[in-house]
Amino acid sequence: MPESLFFFVMLGSFILFAAVKIPISVSLMFSAICGALVSGNFFPIRHLVEGSFGYLDAILIIASAMIFMESIRVSGLLNDLALRMAWKFKNKPLFLLMLMTLFIMSAGMITGSSSAAVLTTGAIAFPVLKDLGLNKRKAGALIAMASIFGMIAPPINIPAMIIGQGVDMPYIGFTAPLLFLTFPLAIISALTIGAKDVKVIKEQRLKVKAGFSESWKLYIPIVIFVILMYFENTSSFSLGLPLVFIICSLIATITGKNNFIRVSITALKESIGILSILVGVGMFIQIMTMNGTRGFVVNYLNDLPELALIFGIAIGVPLFGAVSSYGSASVLGVPFLLAFLGNNDIMVCASLSLLAGLGDMVPPTALAGIFAAHVVGEKNYFKVWYRALPSFFITMVFGTLTLYFSSTVAEWVNYSSFYPIFFISLVLMGMLFLFIDKKRNAGDFA
């Protein structure tokens, strides 16, 4: 079939362009053009332009979210929050380890980018993790994995948006499935990587750093953000996520006495790489649809034996994510979701987004891992990658099993009692960690 030729030309050219260090966004555009040329469509400018606007909503969300994160970083809020948590729970190292993991995740949850999480909350959390007793390799591994979980956790999950938009599925109803997929794995990863090493932080070390801000105004943007997000998800009152982020960014620049224009320019410079990838992904998907490649891939996957399909998802989606997690979500995530039609689409999409996100830890690109190694001062990225392997494989297996049993898992996740059970479980887990810390400090545990 000619569609198979078109597919391999597009995929092969994309891998080739990426291998010779052409930016991922440009590689996606060039491979889309190759797919158009080989299918006899010459240079379909209309389809390329239409495709480039395919993910405009996701682009607006990421751009505004990055402005918000830069605003609260420059205002000193993030640094102040990390120091206050370290000071408050310096004698409860296991509990503080969990808090730092969630703190690292927060930037990814807001921006939808693991790289942004590593370079903001990850960089701020590193000194605390070091004081807790983690060496730089383990700290880097935890920062990288927590950033990936944050990237997949709600409210912003760009891979899920990409997959959903590829099949005209709105980004609605993902909060509970993504909470189920990410928070337990984040806690397990923190325990796997650092539980054995944590120790009480000496007060003398914190006194040097404890330059707390005396202004409570720093926290106004976060309070307003939480309130607006609550209304965004629970009522008909909706401003839209980009406007919510911009409003809170303006407030943050006022409370932090910063220049909004300067902050915005800095944030957009940092996010241009991610935004351009989404433009390239849109072009790629548009041309795949135009020349019939998308339908060919879906039909081929539907004919595969079930075991082969599951194995291909478990290995292929993270592996292709080494080129780009967003590219993996579009090139493989969309066809795999179509191959699993008849199951719970939201749960399947959420699981695929988790597996695609793992690509940020797969060499050679491994953005989350490489940035984490840079943040902690480790020149050899593979030493960080090695410490993250147990968490990586646990995540891969958990994501694949959740996808396979998506209908069953979705029934439980969609129960009205899910949120109370979920948050009560988190509280009980926190109480358990506090109890263990108390016993360790008393010398009852080795």
Asked if the structure places residue 278 within a domain, the reply is no
Task: Report CA 173 to chain centroid distance, whole Å.
Answer: 18
Mean pLDDT across the chain: 85
pLDDT in tens, 65-114: 889 888 888 888 888 888 888 888 888 999 999 999 999 999 889 888 88
**pLDDT at 125 exceeding the cut of 60:** yes
Asked if the structure places residue 10 within a domain, the reply is no
Asked if the structure places residue 37 within a domain, the reply is no
pLDDT in tens, 234-243: 666 777 888 9
Q: What is the pTM of this model?
A: 0.83
Asked if the structure places residue 36 within a domain, the reply is no
Give the pLDDT mean for 291-308: 76
Query: Would residue 18 be called left, alpha or beta, if left means φ above 0 and alpha means ψ between -120 and 50 degrees?
Result: alpha
Angle at 360 between CA 77 and CA 352, to 5 degrees: 105
Range(s) of the domain holding residue 174: 55-273+293-441
Asked if the structure places residue 146 within a domain, the reply is yes
In which residue are the tokens 């982020």 written? 245
Q: CA-CA distances (angstroms) from residue 186 to 126, 192, 255, 341, 414?
A: 16, 10, 32, 29, 21
Asked if the structure places residue 4 within a domain, the reply is no
pLDDT category, 401, cuts 50, 70, 90? Answer: very high
Q: Of residues 297 and 396, which shows the higher confidence score?
A: 396
Residue 84: name the closest of 222, 247, 245 by CA.
Answer: 222
Lowest mean pLDDT among 40-44, 115-119, 174-178, 293-297: 293-297
Asked if the structure places residue 210 within a domain, the reply is yes
Asked if the structure places residue 3 within a domain, the reply is no
Lowest mean pLDDT among 210-219, 284-293, 333-342: 210-219
8 A C-beta contact, residue 30 and residue 13: yes
Query: For residues 326, 264, 375 and 16, what is the CA-based torsion angle, rounded to 10 degrees?
Result: 30
Domain count, the chain: 1
